Amino acid sequence: MSKGRTILTDKRFELTLQRLAHELIENYGDFENTCIIGVQEKGVILAERIHKLIVETTKYEHLQLGKLDITFYRDDFRTRVEPLRASSTEIDFLIEGKRVILVDDVLYTGRTIQSALAALQDFGRPDQVELLCMVDRRFNRHLPIQADYIGIRVDAVDEAYVKVEWKGYEDRDRILLFAAK
């Protein structure tokens, strides 16, 4: 892959994470009857970081965190040339009647979130689901899905690629935009 252009550096990246955590704190109060669920794989990294910031800020240790794999809920599951690799789902609580904050790193076509909503139904019927994403590629949606909490919006042509890098997995926190070929 060619060299991407950095659109969010590590300092602004951390400020964006803090802003997202504070928006949730403002809107969810004591987080009673609320859980955060990250979509495997990179949505989980974002969910863990947001969860940690909320707990450090509020001391609400009761805020539950889960990891959701959507591999077998994808609409392209049977049509892919290469087999998909499943990740683990780790949700050791029911979401029945809860407020769910669903987290993914990049909102692009909306298909991943559609799959996540279908997968969530296996764990109960939530009272509410809100979506948090680090990057919203708002002009590339295939489905009528919108994020409630957004780190940044990136307007790019369909062929462009947005990559979120996470410290601990890559060199540093940053968001890159790769131009269309």
What number is the average pLDDT over the span 153-161?
Answer: 82
What pLDDT score does 152 carry? 96
The domain containing residue 150 runs over which residues? 11-164
What pLDDT score does 118 carry? 94
The answer to whether residue 76 is domain-embedded is: yes
Residue 147 has pLDDT above 90, yes or no: yes
The answer to whether residue 56 is domain-embedded is: yes
pLDDT, one tens digit per residue, over 72-104 is 887 665 555 676 677 889 999 999 999 999 999
DSSP string, 91-149: --S--TT-EEEEEEEEESSSHHHHHHHHHHGGG---SEEEEEEEEE-GGG-SSS---SE
Rg (CA), the chain: 16
pTM confidence score? 0.92
Contact by Cβ (8 Å): 42, 75: no
pLDDT, one tens digit per residue, over 8-51 is 999 999 999 999 999 999 999 999 999 999 999 899 999 999 99
Count of structural domains, the chain: 1
The answer to whether residue 171 is domain-embedded is: no
